[in-house]
Structure 1
Amino acid sequence: MDDGDWAEFARRMATLARDLLAQPSVDATLKRITESAVELMDGCDAAGILLVRRRTVRTFAPTDDLVTQADELQEHLGEGPCLDVIRHDAERVFRVHDLTAHPDRWPRFVPEAAGLGIGSMMGFLLYTEDEELGALNLYSRRPSAFTEAGETTGWLLASHAAVALSSARTHAQLEEAMATRDVIGEAIGILRERHHLDPDQAFTALRRYSQERNIKLRDVARQVCASGRIGS
């Protein structure tokens, strides 16, 4: 890139960073990440985010059916470049110039993926949280679509994506915590009014029922809000 190209690229990345942080939900953030990958990455025909938790594979925000098909194929076969970058996160990135050139590494995945029309792939580890791992994966229908310069662009995009995704998840968790607090408060109010309890007694009743029935406290509170009493 010359100076003008770098300046334009920097402007687009700055706009993307603001855009990602402005998204209203985790799902919207994921969708904008994958859309941006197709928009910004030369040769990228499709993009998606793969999350693996306790060996369960889930695909988020695919821009094309090709992404979902490839992820399902890797989960079914238990092999493939997207799973490798998650399982062996020391690599943190993969770039496959020509998928058909790696029949020994992924002997079952390669012929099936070629049948889907995948020519080359590139992926980046996004984050590690508890037992959940994620990667941003890019697909092209032609071989050698992703270059070394493209890998640098992908790293920048993945870095922005990881920050935005973490922020979105934190915001969603905060909203859930506030909603839980509100529903528990409402349930306590209902029990106080109906059974003439003080706040501590009402909360103790909720907690005891939750522990005895092995039901989450917020779910017990929702039952009280819906029916006006604890239990059926």
Structure 2
Amino acid sequence: MSERRGDEWQHASPRRFAEMARELFSHDSTGELLQRIVSMAVESVEGCEEAGLLMIDRRKRLCETPAATSDLVRASDRAQCEYNEGPCLDAAREEQVFLIGDMAAETRWPRYRPRALELGIGSMLGFDLYTYEGRFGALDLYSRSPRAFGDRARELGWVFASHAAVAIAGARREATLREGYATRQEIGEAIGIIMERRRVAGEAAFEILRTESMHTNTKLRDVARKITLTGEIPCR
């Protein structure tokens, strides 16, 4: 990133943030969008040398890194997930923001801290990814130098974290809608096959599906998929 663009971000106006939003959401895939978010964080936040997104599952146990600017970020996330402790996990699970001014002087996370120092991490800044649907991850900024992040870095970091949260929540909703549509389509196809083969009405065909699902302890969609793939209709 050029020095000129960096100056623009340090004195960014609401219009500049709107331009950033349009640029981010011009990407077709969620993966590309998230990767662009972490890249822009490095380009735009003073003191930030690397950035990554750490995601957790709904039980707040399993974690993954869907976007990162370097292997340092991924190694840091792996260590935190392995030790089940660390600043990024804390941000993802319960806190809104964390700041580590000097990793060498840090007293928290006794198992993670030595690994962070081995990786050359001097300071970190992180934000939870939160929408009304819940908290599901963190945006984490890294520097190899201590005391790298100031107040402006916090302000810009929140902007990127907010965009990442909205993008991920939107992708999850879209995936749920697609799955629901596919389920309805498969069930409809299976009902059509049963109606034709058994010479029954739609309600009776659906009842055959439902009964097979209950007796075999199988999801209705899976029963329907088997019928559409094999043409075999349960005898119940």
Are residues 133 and 199 of structure 1, via their aligned partners in 2, closer, same or farther at CA, if it must alter by over 3 Å?
Answer: same
Gaps of 5+ in 1: none
Contact (CA 8 Å) 2:91, 2:127: kept in 1 or not? yes
Q: TM-score, normalised by structure 2?
A: 0.84
Structure 2 partner of 1:64:
70
Are residues 23 and 109 of structure 1, via their aligned partners in 2, closer, same or farther at CA, if it must alter by over 3 Å?
Answer: same
Contact (CA 8 Å) 2:133, 2:169: kept in 1 or not? no
Q: Distance in 1 between matches of 2:233 and 2:24?
A: 42
Structure 1 partner of 2:201:
198
Are residues 73 and 160 of structure 1, via their aligned partners in 2, closer, same or farther at CA, if it must alter by over 3 Å?
Answer: same
Q: Distance in 1 between matches of 2:23 and 2:233?
A: 45
Q: Percent identity?
A: 48
Are residues 156 and 130 of structure 1, via their aligned partners in 2, closer, same or farther at CA, if it must alter by over 3 Å?
Answer: closer
Gaps of 5+ in 2: 1-6
Instruction: Select 1:220's aligned residue among 219, 223, 228.
Output: 223
> What SS is found at the alignment partner of 2:218?
coil
Structure 1 partner of 2:34:
30
Are residues 178 and 106 of structure 1, via their aligned partners in 2, closer, same or farther at CA, if it must alter by over 3 Å?
Answer: same
Q: TM-score, normalised by structure 1?
A: 0.85
Instruction: Select 2:21's aligned residue among 17, 22, 25.
Output: 17
Q: How does 1:1-232 map to 2 (within 5 A)?
A: 8=12, 10-53=14-57, 54=59, 55-89=61-95, 92-102=96-106, 104-127=107-130, 133-230=136-233
Deviation at 1:162, TM superposition (A): 1.8
What number of residue pairs does the alignment pair up?
Answer: 226
Contact (CA 8 Å) 1:206, 1:220: kept in 2 or not? yes
| Residue identity in the other structure for 1:15 | E
Deviation at 1:144, TM superposition (A): 2.1
| Residue identity in the other structure for 2:54 | L
| Residue identity in the other structure for 2:210 | R
Structure 1 partner of 2:4:
none
Q: Distance in 1 between matches of 2:194 and 2:26?
A: 40
Q: Describe the superposition over 1:162-200 as per-residue Cα deviations: whole angstroms up to 9, x where unpaired.
A: 223222322222222222221221121122222222211
